[in-house]
């Protein structure tokens, strides 16, 4: 009788413990709730970044256009790679990332079209410019013509590297036609792009320099000494084209088209460029 009672008590204790342990079992992990539909709708994709390789002489106009374009196209971020047109051409040839190319010389664009790096159907001449000679605002040396650069008190004349800077090549053409290229060699100081040439004159490191009319308009530290005879150098033309290797073809073509629109052309004209009809 005792054994039966004892076993009954043990079974009761075991049963009680089983019930207690079952009651203490860890609760099930909560199920993750789906993200609200509104949050999914409001998710904004990262903007498409366009890289524009552009001649240094067009820096100020493009930066103003960039602001208005990005404000009306929040999905686009425009980045610029400014430099000498010849150097930019070489970068594109070597595979550097670029979506559009804006050159200060038709030759650089033609070379890229010939090498099938820019589609001939997606490039056109956009603007023109003029070559001028500038001198420091406070300069005391009277310079009124290309012949005056031969004066003894003119020590340094700045030009862009003719092989890579279109403005330098135009200046070389003008000096060659004036039969002064050889005689001025000892005075010439070469800059990596037209903005560096402008800086040489601004700082007084050059008594005169050849830049575009539009560059002269950006500085209070220089003044135009004379306009170079347009018949003495090749016409300054700015073509623009879409790079074939772009990874953002649609967005690149849209910006290419916008640069030909009246709002963009008005900005270029404001900075002294002439639009090609």
Three-state DSSP string of 220-239: CCEEEEEECCHHHCCCEEEE
Q: List beta partners, residue 124.
A: 240
Q: Is 57 annotated as a binding residue?
A: yes
CB within 8 Å of 104: residues ≥ 6 apart: 55, 57, 58, 85, 129, 166, 167, 194, 212, 236, 238
pLDDT at 34: 53
pLDDT, residue 234, reads 96
pLDDT at position 138, please?
Answer: 85
Angstrom CA distances, 120 to 107, 215, 242, stand at 13, 29, 9
Give the model's pLDDT for residue 139: 80
DSSP per-residue codes, 171-209 = HHHHHHHTT-TTTTGGGEEEESSHHHHHHHHHTTS-SEE
Under DSSP, is residue 210 helix (H, G, I), strand (E, B) or coil? strand
Give the whole-angstrom CA distance, residue 107 versus residue 64: 27
pLDDT for residue 33: 52
The CA-based angle 169-54-265, given to 5 degrees, is 105
119 near 244, Cβ under 8 Å? yes
Token code pair at residue 70: 């990005």
For residue 5, what pLDDT is reported? 38
What is the predicted pLDDT for the residue at 141?
81
What is the pLDDT, as a whole number, of residue 61? 97
3-state secondary structure of 163: coil
The verdict on whether residue 85 carries a ligand-binding annotation is: yes
Contact 219, 132 (CB under 8 A): no
d(CA 235, CA 175): 15
Nearest residue to 76 via CA among 101, 51, 43: 51
Q: What is the pLDDT of residue 265?
A: 97
Is residue 194 annotated as involved in ligand binding? yes
Q: Please tell me the predicted confidence (pLDDT) of residue 176.
A: 98
Domains detected in the chain: 46-128+237-275 (3.40.190.10), 131-227 (3.40.190.10)
Q: How confident is the prediction along the chain (277 residues), in pLDDT tens digits per residue?
A: 334 434 443 434 434 434 443 444 444 445 555 555 544 544 567 899 999 999 999 999 999 999 999 999 999 999 999 999 999 999 999 999 999 999 999 999 999 999 999 999 999 999 999 999 999 998 878 899 999 999 999 999 999 999 999 999 999 999 999 999 999 999 999 999 999 999 999 999 999 999 999 999 999 999 999 999 999 999 999 999 999 999 999 999 999 999 999 999 999 999 999 999 8
Residue with tokens 């079209």: 113
Confidence (pLDDT) at 188? 98
């Amino acid at each position: 009788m005792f054994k039966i009672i004892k076993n009954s008590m043990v079974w009761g204790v075991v049963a009680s413990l089983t019930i207690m342990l079952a009651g203490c079992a860890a609760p099930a992990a909560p199920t993750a709730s789906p993200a609200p539909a509104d949050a999914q709708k409001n998710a904004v994709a990262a903007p498409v970044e366009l890289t524009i390789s552009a001649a240094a002489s067009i820096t100020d106009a493009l930066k103003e256009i960039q602001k208005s374009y990005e404000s009306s196209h929040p999905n686009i971020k425009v980045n610029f790679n400014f430099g000498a047109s010849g150097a930019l051409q070489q970068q594109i040839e070597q595979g550097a990332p670029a979506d559009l190319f804006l050159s200060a010389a038709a030759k650089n664009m033609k070379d890229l079209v010939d090498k099938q790096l820019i589609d001939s159907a997606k490039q056109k001449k956009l603007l023109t410019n003029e070559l001028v000679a500038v001198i420091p605002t406070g300069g005391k040396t009277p310079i009124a013509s290309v012949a005056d650069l031969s004066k003894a008190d003119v020590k340094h004349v700045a030009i862009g590297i003719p092989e890579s800077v279109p403005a330098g090549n135009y200046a070389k053409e003008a000096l060659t036609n004036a039969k002064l290229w050889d005689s001025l060699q000892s005075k010439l100081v070469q800059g990596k792009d037209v903005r560096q040439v402008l800086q040489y004159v601004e700082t007084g490191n050059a008594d005169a320099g050849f830049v575009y009319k539009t560059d002269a308009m950006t500085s209070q530290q220089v003044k135009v000494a004379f306009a170079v005879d347009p018949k003495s150098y090749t016409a300054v033309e700015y073509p623009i084209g879409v790079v074939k290797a772009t990874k953002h073809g649609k967005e690149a073509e849209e910006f290419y088209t916008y640069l030909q629109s009246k709002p963009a052309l008005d900005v270029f004209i404001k900075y002294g460029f002439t639009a090609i009809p």
